[in-house]
Amino acid sequence: MIPFLHIWHFNVPTFGVMLWLATVAAAFVMNQTFRRARIDADAVGMVALAVVAGIIGAKLWHVVDTPSEFREEGWRVLWDTAGFAWYGGLAFGISALVLQGWWSRIGGLKTLDLAAPAAAIGYGIGRIGCFLSGDGCYGIETNLPWGMSFPNGIEPTFARVHPTPLYELGAGLIIGWWLWWRGGKPRGVGAIVGEYLVLSGIARFLVEFIRRNPKIIGGLSNAQLASVGSVVMGLGLIWWAAHRPATDPEEAVAPIEKAA
């Protein structure tokens, strides 16, 4: 594993490098989505603010989810390069996008539809950073041929374990492609982000069975309980969107263009 890139006298965390690449990829995808929908708005700026909000939320969620670390390390845990919870990032990132969508007169829910493919792909690429740094988000021990050890990781393990970040990379790319394809067809507002919540929730629920996260209720982890909530919310949005008039991506923002 490569937790740091040694460039001259600097040690650059690979997690940060991959987070930057994930942001660039998400910004590119969202910009393409905006262009397809003929929306004249700053997609790159929206992604950047959502990423910053997501990082803050992911760290805060992790602290709440693992209070033992906070008791042991105190406020230093907030600046640790390891320890980020996906659902905290999702909640804060969604909130940032909704506010920006409202401010840009696109609409909060419509903005989430447009951002869904970018979110899935960016998340998948970001997981490469977890893999390279060996930050402890890998899985339980396995004898499968692709099992890996992380002796040089931030949280080292010498046993062969499931490389769960790579599983999540694959899931993120597949989900992102599916949402991009679906987003090019007439859909009720909220349908695409609903599918995102369902698919990403199912993917996270399944991968948690082979991750090392502590179980809290009924043999399920905190992330799995949040996944159930994500799926339920997504199904609700899909049902709601199915009873709304379908809009073509190129026509969805006609009122905005006329107002401009």
At 13, is the secondary structure helix, strand, or coil? strand
For residue 245, what pLDDT is reported?
82
Quick check: 13 pLDDT over 90?
no
Which tens digit of pLDDT belongs to each residue from 21-62? 999 999 999 999 999 999 999 999 999 999 899 888 887 776
Q: Which has the closest alpha carbon to 135: 19, 7, 257, 250?
A: 19
For residue 256, what pLDDT is reported?
43
DSSP 144-161: STT-EEETTSSS-EEEEE
For residue 259, what pLDDT is reported?
38
Identify the weakest region by mean pLDDT among 5-9, 203-207, 250-254: 250-254
What's the rounded mean pLDDT across residues 83-107? 86
Report the alpha-carbon distance of residue 19 to residue 3 in Å, rounded: 13
Domain ranges of the chain: 4-186
For residue 251, what pLDDT is reported?
55
Say which residue the tokens 């419509």 belong to. 110
Report the alpha-carbon distance of residue 213 to residue 19 in Å, rounded: 22
For residue 153, what pLDDT is reported?
84
Angle between helix 43-65 and 86-103 (nearest 10): 150
At 217, is the secondary structure helix, strand, or coil? strand
The number of beta carbons lying within 10 Å of the beta carbon of residue 246 is 12
Identify the weakest region by mean pLDDT among 13-17, 211-215, 234-238, 249-253: 249-253
For residue 4, what pLDDT is reported?
79
Q: How confident is the model at residue 216 (pLDDT cuts 50, 70, 90)?
A: confident
For residue 79, what pLDDT is reported?
59
pTM given for the model? 0.84
User: Which residue has better confidence, 86 or 167?
Assistant: 167
Report the alpha-carbon distance of residue 258 to residue 245 in Å, rounded: 20
Q: How confident is the model at residue 84 (pLDDT cuts 50, 70, 90)?
A: low
Report the alpha-carbon distance of residue 123 to residue 146 in Å, rounded: 22
Which tens digit of pLDDT belongs to each residue from 190-202? 999 999 999 999 9
Alpha carbon of residue 157 to chain centroid: 25
> Strand pairing partners for 189?
none
Q: Which has the closest alpha carbon to 126: 233, 27, 195?
A: 27
Looking at 120-214, which runs of residues are DSSP E strands? 148-150, 157-161
- Assess contact for 177 and 99: CB atoms under 8 A: no
At 216, is the secondary structure helix, strand, or coil? strand
Report the alpha-carbon distance of residue 1 to residue 157 in Å, rounded: 11
Which tens digit of pLDDT belongs to each residue from 126-181? 999 889 988 888 899 999 999 999 998 888 999 999 999 999 999 999 999 999 99
Report the alpha-carbon distance of residue 9 to residue 56 in Å, rounded: 28
Q: Which has the closest alpha carbon to 25: 191, 177, 189?
A: 177
The number of beta carbons lying within 10 Å of the beta carbon of residue 212 is 17
Share of the chain above pLDDT 90, in %: 59
Quick check: 64 pLDDT over 80?
no
Q: How confident is the model at residue 104 (pLDDT cuts 50, 70, 90)?
A: very high
Tell me the backbone φ, ψ of residue 128, rounded to 5 degrees.
Answer: -60, -35
For residue 257, what pLDDT is reported?
44
The number of beta carbons lying within 10 Å of the beta carbon of residue 218 is 7
